[in-house]
Structures are given as C-alpha cells and as structure tokens.
C-alpha cells in the first residue's frame, strides 16, 4: 500500500506557492501566477492582460515581453500546471515493475495534489475541458506524460487491466480522479480521513479497471 504521508509532505499548497513567488524577482513567473489566480477567480474571458499585469505588479507592456498574446499566456499556464504535477508524480514514483502499485501511487498523488492545490486543480480541469489550449501546448505535455501512458498500455498488454482501449482507460482514470478530488475538497478531508478515503476509493477504481 502506498503511504499518503510521504506524498503529501512533498507537495506545496496554493498559498505557499503564492508566497514563494511573491518573494521572487522573476517577472515571468509572477505573470503566470497572477494569471492562475485571476483566471480561477474571474474566468479566462473576463481577465484582461492589463489586469494580469497589474495583479503581478509589473508594467502593462512587460507582459508582452514574455508572452506575445493572452492565448500564449493561457498555453503557458497549462504547461506550467502540468509540469508541476509531473514533477510531483516523478518525485516518489515506485521503482518496482508492478502495475497496481504504480496506479495506486498515481491515484494517491493526484488526489493529494488536488486537495492541497484546489485552485490549480480546478483551473487545470477547466483548461483541459476548454478549447483554449493550443494543439502545440497539448502535444508538448503529452510527450512529457508519455511514460504514464506507456504504463497503462503495458497493463493492458499484459492483461493486468481489463480489456479496453487506452483512450477510454485514460478517460476513466481522469474522470474518477476529478470526482475523488472534488469529493475530498467538498468534505474537507485531511489527514487520516483523507488517507482512508484514498485507499477506499482506489480499491473501487482498481476493482473496475483490473482484469481480475
């Protein structure tokens, strides 16, 4: 069984990330964080580049030194959030070649990250479901997450997982993670209650996707 404590200890919260960025003299990062904050609060269409620049405490024209357009900034926000998530996933990934163990670790990590970073999690979901992210940005992220798809494909090939298509398996995993994170957030689960929920919810997921 994967230990949730080790995973959660490596994950920064939304607020701690904001605090770190506030103390950094990195205008590009400040702009990205300002965009994340405003997009989550006011939506993509209601947030102007001037508003983002003001929120980041930089001159209005500075934004365009880093991002040629608002669309390019949206792409960068998407890539940034995905990179953060990938770093967390890779930080404590199991070394054993055990599909169930890897799936459990992935499940625990995704839920823990979502619960500790609800703003980022919900914004990433909105971006994923929208048509605002360019194909180029999506393809860049897909290449970086390819090892996870390889893991799923190996599980299907070795008949550890129930017979289905890889695309559908990804959809099942994604929709179940979304539901689990929202449930945990809405019910304010933390500590032991969150750990118990992660274990119980993974058991339900595994019963549904495993070949046994």
The number of distinct structural domains making up the chain is 1
In a domain, 46, yes or no: no
Question: Which residues of the chain are under the pLDDT cut of 70?
Answer: 1-25
The pTM score is: 0.84
For residues 42 and 207, what is the distance between their CA atoms, to the nearest angstrom? 39
What is residue 31's predicted lDDT score, i.e. its pLDDT?
96
In a domain, 20, yes or no: no
Q: Which domain holds residue 151?
A: 4-11+69-209
For residues 142 and 145, what is the distance between their CA atoms, to the nearest angstrom? 5
Q: What angle do CA 148, 172, 202 make, to 5 degrees?
A: 80
What is residue 14's predicted lDDT score, i.e. its pLDDT?
52
In a domain, 129, yes or no: yes
14 CB-side CA count, 13 A = 14
Q: Which own/partner pairs from 183-186 qualify as long-range (CB within 8 Å, at least 24 positions apart)?
A: 184/111, 184/114, 184/115, 185/114, 185/115, 185/118
128 and 67 Cβ atoms separated by less than 8 Å = no
In a domain, 187, yes or no: yes
In a domain, 47, yes or no: no
For residue 144, the SS3 value is helix
Q: Give pLDDT tens digits for 166-194.
A: 999 999 999 999 999 999 999 999 999 99
Domain CATH for 185: 1.10.357.10
In a domain, 109, yes or no: yes
In a domain, 55, yes or no: no
88 and 10 Cβ atoms separated by less than 8 Å = yes
In a domain, 43, yes or no: no
């Amino acid at each position: 069984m994967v230990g949730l404590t080790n995973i959660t200890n490596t994950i920064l919260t939304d607020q701690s990330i904001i605090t770190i960025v506030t103390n950094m003299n990195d205008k590009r990062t400040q702009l990205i964080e300002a965009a994340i904050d405003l997009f989550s609060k006011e939506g993509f269409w209601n947030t102007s580049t001037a508003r983002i620049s003001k929120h980041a405490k930089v001159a209005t024209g500075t934004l365009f030194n880093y991002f040629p357009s608002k669309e390019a900034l949206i792409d960068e926000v998407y890539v940034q959030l995905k990179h953060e998530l990938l770093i967390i996933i890779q930080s404590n990934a199991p070394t054993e070649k055990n599909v169930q163990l890897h799936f459990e670790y992935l499940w625990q990590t995704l839920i823990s990250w979502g619960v500790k970073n609800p703003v980022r999690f919900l914004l990433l979901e909105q971006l994923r479901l929208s048509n605002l992210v360019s194909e180029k940005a999506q393809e860049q992220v897909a290449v970086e997450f390819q090892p996870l798809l390889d893991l799923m494909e190996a599980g299907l090939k070795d008949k550890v997982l129930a017979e289905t298509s890889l695309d559908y398996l990804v959809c099942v995993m994604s929709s179940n993670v979304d539901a689990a994170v929202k449930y945990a957030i809405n019910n304010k689960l933390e500590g032991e209650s969150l750990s118990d929920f992660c274990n119980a919810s993974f058991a339900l997921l595994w019963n549904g996707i495993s070949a046994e």
